[in-house]
């Protein structure tokens, strides 16, 4: 097994606020890792640094052999390896579901229209929304929009997918349908790193869980760590959070 | 010598509307092209380019169009470039419009939510592709009302070209009035013609706004 994502002693500061204070972890091929932690613990920032939506101050990040901390990193190459799904879906409101998915296939991968449409239908079936291909994002529920966002990312066949609190804006029922899609992806062997507040989901599906606290990796373990936290901070987080 | 207002006078006025339209179209097309360039420069991550565009916008917005007309028409002739009044007016209006349109469009592009840029760029689209395929189509809806509003301004401002002797609607009105001296009638008519040109545009802007609004009802 090889590491798809490697973070080594990463520091990141926003103004006077030191958000990441030496974060290190690795994501192996085919692994699903859930990052948990309180608001402000730096978990979303860490995720965004991996796709270089934020630049880091110090340390190393490597994705599929690409040095992300290199100032001259080829962003185009990096982002063909990495898919990212956001809390706020960020679908393109002026395009239909199918066009949302086809856009990057057509303009980045230079697929023909038919090819792109074929891929779009395939990923839409995968998330159970093939019948919504011609709908506009605003006509869909939050859960459906998020599944389209996952399909859009999936269509580019990334080597690793990042999920940034993708169910935080959804009610419990819609959360369920999105989590099921993610569980299927994990079962298919997709390498996934997700920042989440869904403890039960993390415990059941994730291969490893990373608990972040005050900008550091505080505790790492499998699902059982949520039943028997070693640190008082994780215990307190779990008691307050649930 | 003052006669009455005749059909020939009316015909002369109506014909001169054509030149007001030509000048407006010239200002708008050239100003649109220039304005798009100014907008691109203004949102460029290259600091010097963005600064240059900002200085351009602020300089032009601080100078009356009339003075720009004088600079182009009289200024160039001093250096031996005797440009026709139409060309001078077109150039001055282009310089003027591109500063305003560039600034309007910059505002609309910058008003698009940052996560839309992020989503596009995370799909490996280049900055230019993100702008062209994701940002501009959405910004257009926002840009339409102020753009057409500015077009209405441009139509009215072409009347300034009358001072460098270009015969458009206003100048035609002056010429007729000089011969028959019925200012209330003549300039009232001229004003009514401007209104007829401008009012449908404002209405059109409203209907287009509703149509383009598909994605964000």
Q: What ipTM is given for this predicted complex?
A: 0.91
Burial category of B195 from C-beta neighbours within 10 Å (exposed 0-12, middle 13-18, buried 19 and up):
exposed
- pLDDT band for position B217 (cuts 50, 70, 90): very low
Chain B CB contacts of A151 under 8 Å are none
Query: Cβ separation of B215 and A75 shorter than 8 Å?
Result: no
Domains along chain B with CATH numbers: 17-169 (1.10.3720.10)
Q: Indicate whether B213 pLDDT > 70.
A: no
- pLDDT band for position A241 (cuts 50, 70, 90): low
Query: Cβ separation of A86 and B120 shorter than 8 Å?
Result: no
Cβ within 8 Å of A, B 56-115: 115
Give the domain CATH number at A20.
3.40.50.300
Query: Cβ separation of B134 and A92 shorter than 8 Å?
Result: yes
* A83-117 pLDDT, tens digit each: 999 999 999 999 999 999 999 999 999 999 999 99
The pLDDT of residue B1 is 47
Q: Indicate whether A151 pLDDT > 90.
A: yes
Query: Cβ separation of B123 and A152 shorter than 8 Å?
Result: yes
Q: At a CB cut-off of 8 Å and minimum separation 6, what does B34 contact? A: B94, B95, B97, B98, B101, B102
- Taking each continuous run of H as one helix and of E as one strand, the counts in chain A are 8, 10
Question: Taking residues A8-37, what's their average pLDDT?
Answer: 95
The pLDDT of residue A62 is 95
Tokens read off for A191:
């390498």
Question: Taking residues A46-75, what's their average pLDDT?
Answer: 94
Which residue segment(s) compose the domain that A16 sits in? 3-241
Tokens read off for B121:
């760029």
B143 to chain A, minimum CA–CA distance in Å? Answer: 15
Assess contact for A219 and A231: CB atoms under 8 A.
yes
Closest residue in B to A51 (Cα–Cα): B122
Q: What's B74's DSSP letter?
A: I
- pLDDT band for position B165 (cuts 50, 70, 90): confident
**Residue A134: its H or E element:** none
Q: Indicate whether A203 pLDDT > 80.
A: yes
Number of structural domains found in chain A: 1
- pLDDT band for position B2 (cuts 50, 70, 90): low
Q: Indicate whether B137 pLDDT > 90.
A: yes
């Amino acid at each position: 097994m090889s590491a798809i994502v490697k973070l080594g002693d990463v520091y990141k500061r926003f103004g006077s606020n030191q958000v990441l204070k030496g974060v290190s972890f690795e994501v192996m091929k085919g692994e699903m890792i859930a990052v948990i932690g309180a608001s402000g613990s730096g978990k979303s920032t860490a995720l965004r640094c991996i796709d270089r939506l934020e630049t880091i101050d110090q340390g190393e990040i490597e994705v599929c052999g690409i040095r992300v901390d290199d100032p001259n990193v080829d962003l185009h190459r990096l982002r063909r390896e990495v898919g990212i799904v956001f809390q706020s879906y960020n679908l393109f409101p002026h395009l239909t579901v199918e066009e949302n998915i086809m856009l990057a296939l057509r303009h980045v991968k230079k697929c023909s229209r038919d090819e792109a449409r074929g891929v779009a239908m395939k990923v839409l079936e995968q998330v159970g929304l093939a019948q919504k291909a011609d709908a506009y994002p605003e006509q869909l529920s939050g859960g459906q929009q998020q599944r389209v966002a996952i399909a859009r990312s999936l269509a580019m066949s990334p080597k690793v997918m990042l999920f940034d609190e993708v169910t935080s804006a959804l009610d419990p029922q819609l959360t369920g349908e999105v989590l099921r899609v993610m569980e299927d992806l994990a079962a298919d062997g997709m390498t996934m790193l997700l920042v989440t507040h869904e403890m039960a989901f993390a415990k059941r599906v994730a291969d490893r869980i990373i608990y972040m606290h005050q900008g550091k990796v505080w505790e790492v373990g499998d699902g059982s760590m949520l039943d028997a936290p070693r640190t008082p901070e994780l215990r307190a987080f779990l008691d307050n959070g649930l | 010598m003052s006669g009455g207002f005749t059909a020939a006078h009316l015909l002369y006025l109506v014909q001169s509307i054509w030149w007001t339209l030509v000048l407006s179209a010239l200002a708008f097309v050239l100003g649109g092209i220039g304005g798009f360039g100014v907008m691109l420069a203004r949102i460029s991550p290259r600091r010097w380019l963005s600064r240059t565009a900002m200085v351009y916008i602020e300089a032009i917005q601080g100078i009356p169009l009339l003075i720009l007309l004088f600079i182009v028409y009289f200024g160039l002739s001093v250096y031996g470039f005797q440009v026709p009044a139409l060309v001078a007016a077109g150039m001055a209006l282009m310089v003027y419009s591109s500063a305003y349109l560039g600034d309007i469009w910059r505002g609309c592009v910058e008003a698009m939510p940052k996560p839309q840029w992020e989503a596009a760029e995370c799909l490996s689209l280049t900055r230019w592709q993100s702008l062209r395929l994701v940002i501009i189509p959405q910004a257009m809806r926002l840009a339409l009302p102020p753009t057409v509003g500015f077009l209405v301004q441009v139509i009215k401002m072409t009347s300034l070209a009358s001072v460098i002797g270009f015969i458009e609607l206003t100048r035609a009105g002056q010429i007729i009035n000089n011969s028959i001296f019925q200012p209330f009638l003549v300039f009232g008519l001229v004003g009514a013609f401007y209104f007829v040109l401008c009012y449908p545009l404002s209405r059109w802007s409203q209907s287009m706004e509703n149509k383009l609004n598909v994605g964000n009802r």
